[in-house]
Amino acid sequence: MASTTSRVLALSVALALGGCATFSEDGGFGAVQQVTKSRLGQDARWQRSDADREEVAKIVREKLAAPLTADNAVQIALINNPGLQATYSELGIAEADVVAAGRLPSIHIASLKTKYGGETVKVEQAIGIEVISLLTVPLRHRFESTRFERVQAEVARQTLAVAHETRRAWLEAVAAVEIERYMEQVKESAEASAELARRMARAGNFSRLQQMEEQAFYAEATAQLARARQVSVTVREGLTRLMGLSGAQATYRLPDRLLDLPSGVSGYPEIQKSALDERLDVVAARRDAASLAQSLGLVKTTRFINALEVGRARTKEGHEPFAYGWEFAIEIPLFDFGTARVARAEALYMQAVSRVAETAVNAESEVREAYAAYRTAFDTARHYRGEIVPLRKKISEEKLLRYNGMLISVFELLADAREQIAAVTASINASREFWLAETDLRSALTGAGVGPRIAGRVSPLPVGRQGAAPH
């Protein structure tokens, strides 16, 4: 009997040793890199050594040598954002759990020695291992492996979220630069108009009220420029933080204006078709449910026996030689037959199934909402760029000709200029809104999440009776 038990134990140990998990070369980061490459066309990098950090620093320097594009900003964030690097470490933690679950349970060693009158009376020694833990190694390893896959999906989702936030921050920063430059022109023009009004009032051609209106517009334009500059600093610093830049790196250059609008937009049917299959939050929810299902199986397997330990033992009394045998230890749930644990696991699993359904419903709704905003923003921006701004320009040119021909007064010319300022500012904001909506739609298709805006828009200048525009 002892020989049979010994062979069974030896076989179990051999099987467990054969299935021991080992650490992968990339720590599971390859799956994250594959997602970022397929979704973004860019590489993510986990800095785990000095060589990695030096290579990343070199790439960052190269990207910052020219005016920063949106793609380069995202690339820098993917490899240099400190918070993202901390998130990548979650993979190492999860993989360590997988490896630990695939290894043998701890060995239990016990020793007892009794003496009487200074002379050893009895010696007991035993070495054992928990049989239940040993036999459930494959099940526990599968459970941790499934959880590891869920962590990979979540890390990939957070990586795409950082990419999304970085692209939004770049759009906000470039739009702020464009508005700031335009506000500088408005301020210079308002200053010239205020000086003209002062001279005309001195010559008796302007009333005191008209002069004060022009002066007030100049003061308001100066305040708007100051606000535009502050917004530009705020959104730029948000972008700088996302890219993980500091010191001299923070002096990078940005383009002067946003990209031109595309000639057309994508249709909704082809966008909706792959949304649910590709969204990472849906994938993570499904894997979470699968992980809990495996956990339920583990709970049912061990519901009646919490611990069963078997091992080799030997005893000795007095001067007698050691006597060898086997030691068995079992924990019996006398007052808890495991029904509570099983019921809890089943409830958790049904909760996870409902979460999967909720995530899928929300994903579909978010894609519809994001596409509606994307389409509306495109139509609005195209309307401003294609109709309103060109029409305002033609009106201004026509009124300038009439002013030169002394057919209209300077008051009418200035009133028209105010309208042109508002139209141009609104056009810049509409263009920014489109590119932000386009970025949000990308995020909705991946499930990366839509972050809050870093800063609000620069409001158009007042379009009341006072004002002037660039000449």
Q: Give yes or no for a contact between 306 and 133, defined as CB atoms under 8 angstroms apart.
A: no
Q: Do the domain assignments include residue 306? A: yes
Q: Do the domain assignments include residue 116? A: yes
Residue with more model confidence, 337 or 440: 440
Q: Do the domain assignments include residue 458? A: no
- The total of structural domains in the chain comes to 1
User: Which pLDDT band holds residue 215 (cuts at 50, 70, 90)?
Assistant: confident
Q: In the prediction, which pLDDT does 470 show?
A: 40
Q: Which residues make Cβ contacts (< 8 Å) with residue 406, sequence separation at least 6? A: none
User: Which pLDDT band holds residue 187 (cuts at 50, 70, 90)?
Assistant: confident
Q: Give yes or no for a contact between 251 and 338, defined as CB atoms under 8 angstroms apart.
A: no
pLDDT in tens, 21-65: 676 777 788 888 888 888 888 889 888 889 999 999 999 999 999
Q: Which of 154-158, 262-266, 387-391 has the lowest mean pLDDT?
A: 262-266
What mean pLDDT comes out for the span 125-133?
Answer: 61
In terms of residue numbers, what domain contains 423? 2-446
Q: In the prediction, which pLDDT does 76 show?
A: 95
Q: Give yes or no for a contact between 290 and 146, defined as CB atoms under 8 angstroms apart.
A: yes
Q: In the prediction, which pLDDT does 425 show?
A: 86
DSSP H or E run through 329:
strand 323-331
Q: In the prediction, which pLDDT does 162 show?
A: 92
Range ranked top by mean pLDDT from 148-157, 234-243, 321-330 = 234-243
Tally of CB atoms within 10 A around 382:
18
Q: Do the domain assignments include residue 466? A: no
What mean pLDDT comes out for the span 263-285?
Answer: 68
**CA 345 – CA 348 distance, rounded (Å):** 5
Q: Is the pLDDT of residue 2 over 50?
A: no
pLDDT in tens, 411-431: 676 666 777 788 888 899 999
Q: In the prediction, which pLDDT does 457 show?
A: 36
What mean pLDDT comes out for the span 304-325?
Answer: 55
Q: Is the pLDDT of residue 459 over 90?
A: no
Q: Is the pLDDT of residue 173 over 90?
A: yes
Q: In the prediction, which pLDDT does 82 show?
A: 92
The SS3 call for residue 465 is: coil
pLDDT in tens, 370-388: 888 999 999 999 998 888 8
pLDDT in tens, 79-112: 999 999 988 888 877 777 777 776 666 666 777 6
User: Which pLDDT band holds residue 307 (cuts at 50, 70, 90)?
Assistant: very low
Q: Is the pLDDT of residue 324 over 80?
A: no
Q: Is the pLDDT of residue 178 over 60?
A: yes
pLDDT in tens, 218-257: 898 899 899 999 999 999 999 999 999 999 999 999 998 8
Of 454, 64, 43, residue with least CA distance to 254: 64
**Percentage of the chain modeled with pLDDT above 70:** 65
DSSP string of 194-237?
HHHHHHHHHTTSS-HHHHHHHHHHHHHHHHHHHHHHHHHHHHHH
Q: What phi and psi, each to the nearest 5 degrees, are found at residue 156?
A: -65, -40
Tell me the whole-structure pTM to 2 decimals.
0.70
**CA 423 – CA 417 distance, rounded (Å):** 10
**Percentage of the chain modeled with pLDDT above 90:** 21
Helices (H), 19-47: 29-40
Bridge partners of 107, per DSSP, are 129
Tally of CB atoms within 10 A around 2:
10
Arithmetic mean of pLDDT over the chain: 75
Give the domain CATH number at 353. Answer: 1.20.1600.10
Q: In the prediction, which pLDDT does 456 show?
A: 34
